Amino acid sequence: MLKPYSHIRMSWKKKEWEHDSALQIRVMENGKKTTIAFHHDKLADAEQREEMSEYWSSKMGSIKLP
């Protein structure tokens, strides 16, 4: 079931890129926890997909929990 305000979809790019990508960020209830998921479309190639996977993993690692 879709919950209002559970995800954001937007155009996104790094400064050095010549093109936009489509970024979706979802926030999902997972029992007593929360899952945050990043999905990227319209990336140029496998190298960019790997770069973004590492980028978002590092961002998730910097989230401070109470």
What's the pLDDT score for residue 43? 94
pTM: 0.75
What's the pLDDT score for residue 6? 77
Please list, residue by residue across 29-59, b when 16 or more beta carbons sit within 10 angstroms of its beta carbon and e when fewer do.
Answer: eeeeeeeeeeebeebeeeebeeebeeebeee
Domain definitions of the chain by residue range? 19-61
What's the pLDDT score for residue 2? 56
pLDDT by residue for the chain (66 residues), tens only, comes to 556 777 889 999 989 989 999 999 988 887 888 888 899 999 999 999 999 999 999 988 888 776
